[in-house]
Amino acid sequence: MKEANRDTTHFGYKTVATQEKASMVADVFHSVAAKYDVMNDLMSFGIHRLWKRQTIACSGVRQGHKVLDLAGGTGDLTAKFSELVGESGQVILGDINDSMLRVGRDKLRDLGRVGNIEYVQMNAEALPFPDNSLDVITIAFGLRNVTDKDKALRSMYRVLKPGGRLLVLEFSKTDNEALSKLYDFYSFNILPTMGKLVANDSESYRYLAESIRMHPDQETLKSMMEEAGFEQASYQNLTGGIVALHRGFKF
C-alpha cells in the first residue's frame, strides 16, 4: 500500500503534503494525550489489554534485554518489559509526540517503574540508535500514523541485533462481513461521539478511525516487513482480524 506520489500522503481520508503529515498527527496526539488511557479502555471495552498481553507473550523478552517500545505512548508495554528485563536490562519508551511521552513518564513513575527505563522523543523513520543494538522492538497502534512506513521498517531492521525481533500490533482488516459492518458503524458513529463526550475532541477520533481504514492489510504489511529485510514474517489475527499482531526476525 505504497503512496503513488511521494510528495503527498494520506491523513485519514484526506490527501496532504507529505511534509505536513507528522505535524498533523502530532496535533491529534497532543489533543488526546491526557485522556488516552481512559479512551483506550472505553473504545476497546478493555480488550486492548489482552492484545498487549499477547504481544508481550510473543516478544521473547528476558533478563538483560534492551527493548524499544516504539510509539509507546503512555507506557503499557514498557511497564511490563521493565519487569521482564530486570536491573541488567533496559527499556526505551520512544514516541515522536512529547505530550504522550510526558503522560507515559508520569504514569510509569507513579507505578514505581524507575531505574531501567529511558524516555526518548524519536521519529520511527530515523531511529537514534547504532546498528545491531536492540534485542526487541515493539510498536503498538503506532505504525499506521507513520508517514513513510517502509522507511520506518528499514530503520527498525537496522537497529535490531541479529536474532532480534520486531512485533507490530495494529488495527487491521476483518474478512467477516457482519463484523466489518458493525465495526464501521461503531468507528464512524459511536467513536467520534465518545471522543467528543470524554475528550472534547470528535475530529481526532474520526481521524483515528480513518487512519485504521487506510492502513495496509495483513498480507500487505507482511510483505512490507519482508521487503525491509525481516525473515519468518508472520501474523496472528486477534478479535476476528480487527487487530493483527505481526512478527518478524533479523538473522
pLDDT at 191: 87
In a domain, residue 230? The reply is: yes
Domain that holds residue 16: 8-175+206-249
If you search the block for the grid coordinates 504489511, which residue do you land on? 221
Q: Are strands 231-238 and 243-249 parallel, antiparallel or unpaired?
A: antiparallel
- The answer to whether the CB of 86 falls within 8 A of the CB of 114 is no
pLDDT at 113: 87
pLDDT at 129: 98
Residue by residue, pLDDT tens for the chain (251 residues) are: 444 457 899 888 888 899 889 888 878 888 888 878 888 888 899 999 999 999 999 999 999 999 999 999 899 999 999 999 999 999 999 999 999 999 999 999 999 988 999 999 999 999 999 999 999 999 999 999 999 999 999 999 999 999 999 999 999 999 899 999 998 998 899 988 988 888 888 888 889 889 999 999 999 999 999 999 999 999 999 999 999 999 999 99
In a domain, residue 241? The reply is: yes
Is 174 within any annotated ligand binding site? Answer: no
CA distance 250 to 164: 5
Is 74 within any annotated ligand binding site? Answer: yes
pLDDT at 142: 95
CA distance 167 to 151: 16
Is 176 within any annotated ligand binding site? Answer: no
pLDDT digits (tens, 9 = 90+) for 147-166: 999 999 999 999 999 999 99
In a domain, residue 166? The reply is: yes
In a domain, residue 37? The reply is: yes
Q: Domain of 221: which CATH number?
A: 3.40.50.150
* Number of C-beta neighbours around residue 212 at 10 A: 19
Is 123 within any annotated ligand binding site? Answer: yes
CA distance 70 to 73: 8
In a domain, residue 123? The reply is: yes
In a domain, residue 194? The reply is: no
Residue 55 carries which side chain, given as an amino acid letter?
A: T
The count of domains in the chain is 1
- The answer to whether the CB of 157 falls within 8 A of the CB of 134 is no
In a domain, residue 191? The reply is: no
In a domain, residue 3? The reply is: no
